Amino acid sequence: MARVRAQRDVGLDTLYRSLYLIRRVEEEVARIYPTDKIKSPVHLSIGQEAISVGVCQALRADDVVFGTYRGHALYLAKGGDLKSMIAELYGKAAGVTKGKGGSMHLIDLTHGIMGGSAVVGTAIPHAVGYAYALKLRGSDSIVTSFFGDGATEEGVFYESLNFAALKRLPVLFVCENNFYAIHSPLQTRQANLNMAERASSLGVVSRRLVDDDVLTLVKEVGLAAAAIRQGGGPRFLECPTYRWKEHVGPSDDYHAGYRTLDEAKPWMERDQVRLVGSLLAAPERQQIELDVEREVSEAFDFAESSPFPEDSDLMTDVYAD
């Protein structure tokens, strides 16, 4: 696996701030979750932060993203409002969906975050549909669709990639391959473990990365995005990564028997949060961390003090006006 490469031209301070923010938010979510103040299930991105950060760093503000139920990292990496996110986890009226969607349905249209879905693979065709609309409008914005390795086993994955390739749509498919669909390892589910190869067979230009080196991701997504904007059609990136926590919830699960801590350790040793931080001068890193700690504290205080929705709000926003 590659290590983070020291390149100041990609904004290491910006990368570290985003990586550290996501890590600290989710560590705080994990700490608070057993108190039952957080009112929805949480699928944490701890260990996987670099994928969302590396991809979003290479996107433009007017590009849009579609995510999954493990969407905290994507939401924050694309610029989603932190206070509204934490309020949503608490089920408060100030949340991004007024306390009705919870952790798995984060959305912030002002930052191009089109939301996630709790159903595996269902956001992939939504992203393709949005990309089709962009093409019809003549826009040079692009769409990025994030999904896990498990989603590549849904029929809609193949249908969507085929349509995107056929219509040469401006969409980047990003597979966050953490090697497990809940508790099922990839090698027990697929004979061909190379997902980029499968995507290529559908006519989508594809690349399989070695690991989750964040600077490599910035570079590769920059190249892919440029090709897409020039009318080159869709691109597919398979991004190996590893989640440190259980599939859903705040705890470790290496005792459960389906994976081992020894398997996780190489990824932990190459922790992108720590490695990027080590490339910054100590005073610069410490200032970023102080600023993030203050922001995280304020967001959780905001969620704690915000009101719950009124009973009368239960049936609002069910239908479009």
Q: Tell me the pLDDT of the chain (321 aa) as tens digits.
A: 345 544 435 699 999 999 999 999 999 999 999 999 998 999 999 999 999 999 999 999 999 999 999 999 999 999 999 999 999 999 999 999 999 999 999 999 999 999 988 999 999 999 999 999 999 999 999 999 999 999 999 999 999 999 999 999 999 999 999 999 999 999 999 999 999 999 999 999 999 999 999 999 999 999 999 999 999 999 999 999 999 999 999 999 999 999 999 999 999 999 999 999 999 999 999 999 999 999 999 999 999 999 999 988 888 888 887
What integer pLDDT is reported at residue 6 of this predicted model? 41
Task: Please state which CATH number belongs to domain 8-297.
Answer: 3.40.50.970
Break the chain into its structural domains and give their ranges: 8-297
What integer pLDDT is reported at residue 313 of this predicted model? 87
Q: pTM of whole model > 0.85?
A: yes
Tell me how many degrees the CA angle 132-135-140 measures, rounded to the nearest 5. 130
For residues 143 and 130, the answer to whether their CB atoms sit within 8 Å is: yes
For residues 261 and 246, the answer to whether their CB atoms sit within 8 Å is: no
Q: Which residues of 227-238 are buried (b: 16+ CB within 10 A; e: fewer)?
A: ebeeeebbbbbb
What integer pLDDT is reported at residue 320 of this predicted model? 80
What integer pLDDT is reported at residue 10 of this predicted model? 67
Helix (H) or strand (E) run with residue 29 in it: helix 12-32
- Tokens found for residue 115: 């939301």
Which residues, in sequence order, are bridge partners of residue 236? 173, 206
CA separation for the pair 25, 119 (Å, rounded) = 24
